[in-house]
Amino acid sequence: MNEPYKNPGPPKAGPSLLACLNCRQKHLKCDGKTPICGRCVATGLECQYTPSRRGYKGPTKKRRANASPDGTDTDFSGSFDPQSAGLVNIPQDWNNLQNSFHYMPTTTLATPSSGSPGLTEKSSPSQPILLHNEPLTPESSSAVPGDGYLVDTFYTYFHPSHPILLPPRLYPSHVPPYLDHVIKFIGSHFTPAASSEHYRPNVMSSVMEQDASVEKLQALLLLAIVLHSRNERDEARDCLATAVNIAFQLGLNNESYAEKMSEGDPVREESLRRTWWELFIIENMLTALGLQPTAHTGLVPLVVKLPCEERIYQDGLAPPPAPTIKEFDERIFEDTEMCFSSFAYRIEAARILAQVVSIQNMIDDQQNNVINIDVRITAWFLSLPDSKTELLRSDGLVDEMMFQANMVVNGAAIYLHFPRSDLLSSPAMAAEVICGHHGHGSIPAVSQHAHAMKAVKAATEISTLASIRMPVVKHTPFFICALVMSSIVQLAACSVKAGQMPDPSRDRLTLTIGVFKSLGRTWAISQVIVRQIKAVARDVMDLGLRPTADIDLNSDFDRWLDSIPR
């Protein structure tokens, strides 16, 4: 335990012109001694200073106008401005958002203890790491500046889509170095001010070599999402499999685990519950995308209680008593409408998807299962309370949990109906597209035409989600995969019409390609997919230029394509 600091000498005549990072972080007086101040000597902390800027009045208007991307002429006179540092889609309330963060990032990325791995060769104790709200200085590295802001970036752009870590207001002042590494690695994808390749070389190995813990599980789960989005699918599969094993090893799937391990902290308990359910959702999504044959989290009883609403959790408030899956399933039969969180509906969406995947290779009684799941999908939409049917909230923001829930349920409908339609015979289906895993043709439960109509309807709903006016980069990267399936279904439908693409279909495809291009700036998988989808679209359009006498156009399909809502 560190001894309290005692002033080793008489008081100084005036304040020191320097203050080390540790003293600034704790808002304590610093004696400014170099290379180690008296307080850091007494507490045994590593002492670091940022270069003094006293007397610096900021750049002239001319220099500000000629500011270069490398940071040479950046305005350093005020607090860090993420827009000038190249952060994309910065919200207008960035300063308010920053001021609401009460945590402080860890002081360095690479000061490994004897039991902690070094993170990158480029990081070194001599490299100053700027604290929250500290200005960048001309001496800061333009490639990787003080990277504490990457934690803010993570919480702004990624955390709302996969909210398992403690909310930013309660984010601890110290996290395991490997989890800090993962957070900054993810944050670096959302700004050109930092290169994700600086963090990538050993971000996975630094996590894998740790002992089993919830923090390791969270790090691996976040990595599985991001590595898949970087088109590193094998590595994503390894991270996912290890995370699942740790969850069962720790007993995270048990009802009492979160309460026992939270040490009486209700927000920590909520985080633990969310971690299990996020693992359940992500494993089922990646299984549907063909990364593995079976989702193991669905093979055990689902007894962990359900998460609360996002506004409660993100404000760091104690959630109300958590409901159970059984209560959620029986909500329809209650006299009064019970309120469940958007996260709970997202979990139900993943359960539907899991059920679809589980019958893909079933032979006996498959038709009845298909009909039952189709009923369950329809019932999911019809039973939504009014508060969950509108994705845009009153504050103008999107309910990301319900956005994903809609995305997953419509994706499940495509997985259910597309392989049972006659759209698979389309020449467009000969192309291999990442995330285009749709399974082999299956026995239809109703007419192939009816399956095709249901698949196209679900595909249209997914592309409609892309039309919501908000930065698409804030959505889960799995939205890319959902749009792939939507595009393939719509292109297959158009190819049946010999390449005659109705204007609404063309508009939706144009929108989707625009989304792929936009997300390609953040996620590498989207860069590959946009080329593949364009190639399929060219093949479909080329089909329309060929003689159509040998093409059997079903009259029902003619009427169906012409009836697509404009």
Residue 250 has a pLDDT of: 97
Q: Which amino acid is at 553?
A: L
How many angstroms separate the first and last alpha carbons of the chain?
A: 69
**Measuring CA to CA, which residue among 414, 348, 408 is closest to residue 383?**
348
What was the pLDDT predicted at 244? 98
What pLDDT sits at residue 540?
78
Looking at residue 392, what DSSP letter applies? Answer: B
For residue 35, cis peptide bond before it (omega within 30 degrees of 0): yes
What pLDDT score was predicted for residue 27? Answer: 62
> Whole-angstrom Cα distance, residue 207 to residue 205?
5
Rounded CA-CA distance 284/352 in Å is 10
The residue behind tokens 């969850």 is 247
Q: What is the DSSP letter of 499?
A: T
SS3 state of residue 228: helix
Per-run averaged pLDDT (10 residues), the chain, 566 residues: 45 56 71 79 70 41 39 36 37 38 33 31 32 30 63 96 92 83 96 92 96 97 98 97 98 96 94 98 96 95 97 93 95 88 98 94 81 96 93 86 98 94 68 70 76 94 89 94 92 70 76 92 94 85 48 39 42
Q: Where are the domains of the chain?
A: 380-400+418-562
Contact predicate 402/345, CB 8 Å: yes
pLDDT at residue number 191: 93
What letter would DSSP give residue 319?
P
Q: What does the buried/exposed string (b/e) look like for 68-94 if buried means 16 or more CB atoms within 10 Å of the residue's CB?
A: eeebebbebeeebbbebbebbebeeeb
Residue 543: the pLDDT is 57
In angstroms, the CA 257 to CA 254 distance is: 6
Tens of pLDDT along 269-307?
Answer: 999 999 999 999 999 999 999 999 999 999 999 999 999
Measured distance CA(478)–CA(500) in Å, rounded:
30
- Least Cα distance to 344 among 323, 320, 319, 318 occurs for 323
Instruction: Report pLDDT for 309.
Output: 96
- What is the rounded CA–CA span in Å between residue 293 and residue 510? 33
Query: Model confidence over 494-526: pLDDT tens digits?
Result: 876 654 566 677 788 889 999 999 999 999 999
Task: For residues 249 and 240, give the distance between their C-alpha atoms in angstroms, rounded to a whole number.
Answer: 14
Q: How many residues does the chain have?
A: 566
Distance CA 403, CA 400 (A): 5
Tell me the one-letter amino acid at 234.
D
- Model-level pTM? 0.71
Instruction: Tell the burial category of 8 from Cβ atoms under 10 Å away from its Cβ (0-12, 13-18, 19+).
Output: exposed
Using a 10 angstrom Cβ sphere, with 0-12 exposed, 13-18 middle and 19 or more buried, the burial of residue 280 is buried
From residue 277, how far is each of 258, 343, 347 by CA, in Å?
12, 9, 7
User: In whole angstroms, what separates CA 315 from the centre of its chain?
Assistant: 19
